[in-house]
Amino acid sequence: MNILLFIGPPGSGKGTQADLIHEELGIPHISTGDILREAVKAQTDLGKKARKYMQAGDLVPDDIMIGIIQDRILQPDCNDGYILDGFPRTTNQGKALEKMLKENQQEITRVFYIDVEDDILMKRILGRETCHKCGAVFNKYFNPPQKAGICDNCQSELVTRSDDNEQSVRNRLKKYKENTYPLFKHFKEKELLVNIDGSQPIKEIKTRILSFLER
């Protein structure tokens, strides 16, 4: 059973890798960012609470995030393991997760820390464009669509995430350094941490991650 954590700054590609590993191992990919974005879109109570934090690039409060994960990992599809993408992001979230797992006699298998330099992250995030219909992702700087603003696959319009603006991104990177760095020390001491160079090609990163997993 694999319980895998993907941690890294915004734009590090942790979501892309979590998705590839999900396809490879067949265990759910749980992205707290995606859960929150869906809630905002559906205008649920959670979405209404989370929206202002996300828009500003701030972290959503720990109690809300811990509650979301608590419910999600108890779903039957998580019985054989799962991938957490973007959680934990603070020491409190990390401690809460470890407590939940201990109660179920489970343990974290590995923590993949995907790191990329700030200037590359800025371009990755500010250039990011997603097809609103098929979900294909492009980048204005690194992987532009053939026709600006139009999806190569289905010719639909490409959109930018509303928190992918310069001010929010700078704040997200700042919050990441303040809140998430202390977690690394903790997981390193527990010998769970694997450092991954997120500037390498996507396929190579995936191969490296898989080499650390039991299958």
Our answer to whether residue 51 is catalytic in this structure is: no
Contact pick of 36, 97, 108, 205 for ligand AMP (by CB under 6 A): 36
Quick one: 53 or 184, whose CB is closer to ligand AMP?
A: 53
Q: Which residues of 188-211 are buried (b: 16+ CB within 10 A; e: fewer)?
A: eeeebbbebebeeeeeebbebbee
Classify residue 26 by burial, with Cβ atoms within 10 Å: 0-12, 13-18, 19+.
exposed
89 touches ligand AMP (CB under 6 A): yes
Is 86 a binder of ligand AMP (CB under 6 A)? yes
3-class secondary-structure state, position 144? coil
Among 172, 173, 183, 209, binds ligand AMP (CB under 6 A): 172
Pairwise CA distance, residues 104 & 201, whole Å: 37
Write the CB contacts of 141 (distance below 8 Å, at least 6 apart in sequence).
123, 124, 127
Site string for ligand AMP, 49-68 (x = CB under 6 A): ----xx--xxxx----x---
Active-site residue, 41 included: no
Among 32, 113, 183, 196, binds ligand AMP (CB under 6 A): 32
Q: How far is the CB of 176 from ligand AMP (least distance, A)?
A: 9
Angle among Cα 49, 10, 114 to the nearest 5 degrees reads 130
CB of 5 to ligand AMP, least distance (A): 11
Q: Rounded distance, CA 168 to CA 140, Å?
A: 19
Q: Judged by CB, which is closer to ligand AMP: 63, or 197?
A: 63
Is 53 or 136 the residue whose CB approaches ligand AMP more closely?
53
The C-alpha atoms of residue 32 and residue 73 are separated, in whole angstroms, by 12
Q: Is 172 designated active site?
A: yes
**Known catalytic residue: 170?**
no
Q: Active site includes 128?
A: yes
Q: How near is the Cβ of 155 to ligand AMP at its closest, in Å?
A: 26
Contacts of 143 by beta carbon, 8 Å cutoff, 6+ apart = none
- Binding footprint of ligand AMP on the chain (CB under 6 A): 10, 32-33, 36, 53-54, 57-60, 65, 86-87, 89, 93, 172
What are the catalytic residues?
14, 89, 128, 161, 172
